[in-house]
Amino acid sequence: MLRFVCWLTLLLKLGLICAYRPVFIYHGILTGADSMQHLVKRIQLLHPDTVVYNFDRFGGWSSLENAWHQVLEANTNLQAVCALHPEGINMIGYSQGGLLGRAVLQTYPDHCVRTFISLSSPQAGQFGDDFLHLIFPSLVAKTAYQLFYSYVGQHTSVGNYWNDPHHQDLFDQFSIFLPYVNNRLYSANSTQFRETMMRLRRLVLIGGPDDGVITPWQSSHFSFYNETNDVVPLQESPIYKEDLIGLKTLHDSGRLDVISREGVHHYQWHRTDHVIDSVIIPYLD
Ligand SMILES: *[C@@H]1O[C@H](CO)[C@@H](O)[C@H](O)[C@H]1NC(C)=O
Ligand SMILES: *[C@@H]1O[C@H](CO)[C@@H](O)[C@H](O)[C@H]1NC(C)=O
């Protein structure tokens, strides 16, 4: 009996049992790892001893760099984490970090992420003045495509996921990022982009109508405007109906959780304890 207890204590000490999986956190645009500290502390309060990797690159203005550049760099960080934790980790991406983080998985065929939590992220792109003015005060959504859908405009992450429902031809022609990671356009990587998503044990999409920045807010659930500015429900969207990146497969196998919360502004998702406690913590095993 004594020996058994000792073994148990040893195992607990080594974290072999009862320990929570490490969490990789990817910050949003124009901020950095610091902005995610509240979430880190809350996770470690409720799940003591959780190892958290709070991605600290591409903070501030460098968060506006080309999306592929950020994704391929972050990929090297995730590879280092997965090498340490082949048993698997969980990942949380906030705002732009949820879109870029998702693309990191898609560029990593044998990634170790089990649960991916997308916290108010523009998964289907962004089209709206409120968001635009945070970064480019003199642009208006209606004409921003003229800048973003150009060689120069594609140097910025925002240009890479700007999705103008009235200029979808130019979106397909110029955007080098979103149409590809969403498999709207076929590429040599399309199969991988889908299979890597289906590796997930769970995909959690969190957003809400009072977000105020992600536009439409349903982009956090992979829904977007059509030409008549109506938001097409996820289950009627091509990305879902045609299972372009495995969302339908994830849903049909009970692995897709689509969550809405009212009354949460964009800057509060990662700082609001009732959100963290009710829709993030329960997914961290
Ligand atoms: C896409 O695939 C090609 C080869 O098939 C590879 O060289 C390239 O790095 C891939 N790009 C991404 C973003 O995964
Ligand atoms: C846009 O979506 C709405 C709602 O799903 C639908 O009623 C409308 O016909 C769609 N418009 C176009 C041009 O597809």
**pLDDT by residue for the chain (285 residues), tens digit each?**
444 444 454 555 555 556 999 999 999 999 999 999 999 999 999 999 999 999 999 999 999 999 999 999 999 999 999 999 999 999 999 999 999 999 999 999 999 999 999 999 999 999 998 889 888 988 999 999 999 999 999 999 999 999 999 999 999 999 999 999 999 999 999 999 999 999 999 999 999 999 999 999 999 999 999 999 999 999 999 999 999 999 999 999 999 999 999 999 999 999 999 999 999 999 999
pTM, two decimals, is: 0.92
Go through 197-206 and write b for each residue having 16 or more CB atoms within 10 A of its CB, e for each that does not: bebbebbbbb
DSSP 8-state assignment for residue 51 = -
pLDDT in the model for residue 131? 86
pLDDT in the model for residue 74? 98
Name every residue whose Cβ is closer than 8 Å to that of residue 209 and which is 6 or more positions away in sequence: 217, 260, 262
pLDDT in the model for residue 6? 44
Residue 199 CA from chain centroid, whole number: 15
State the distance from the centre of ligand 2 to the C-alpha of 225, rounded, in angstroms.
9
> Which amino acid belongs to residue 72?
L
Go through 91-114 and write b for each residue having 16 or more CB atoms within 10 A of its CB, e for each that does not: bbbbbbbbbbbbbbbbbbeebbbb
Q: Which ligand is nearest to the CA of 235?
A: 2
Q: How many CB atoms lie within 10 A of CB 237?
A: 20
State the distance from the centre of ligand 1 to the C-alpha of 189, rounded, in angstroms.
6
Catalytic-role residue among 27, 211, 223, 237 = 211
111 counts as catalytic: no
pLDDT in the model for residue 283? 98
pLDDT in the model for residue 228? 95
Peptide bond into 216 cis (omega under 30): yes
Tell me the domain boundaries of the chain: 23-127+191-225+233-283
pLDDT in the model for residue 5? 44
Do the beta carbons of residue 90 and residue 112 sit within 8 Å?
Answer: no
266 counts as catalytic: yes
110 counts as catalytic: no
For tokens 């108010």, the residue is 120
Q: Reduced to 3 states, what is the DSSP secondary structure of residue 206?
A: strand
State the distance from the centre of ligand 2 to the C-alpha of 223, rounded, in angstroms.
13
In short, whether 227's Cβ falls inside 6 Å of ligand 2 is yes
Q: Reduced to 3 states, what is the DSSP secondary structure of residue 196?
A: helix
Which CATH architecture is the domain 23-127+191-225+233-283 placed in? 3-Layer(aba) Sandwich (3.40)
pLDDT in the model for residue 135? 87
In short, whether 230's Cβ falls inside 6 Å of ligand 2 is yes
Nearest in space to 20 (alpha carbons), one of 54, 57, 45? 45
Q: Which helix (H) or strand (E) holds 58?
A: none
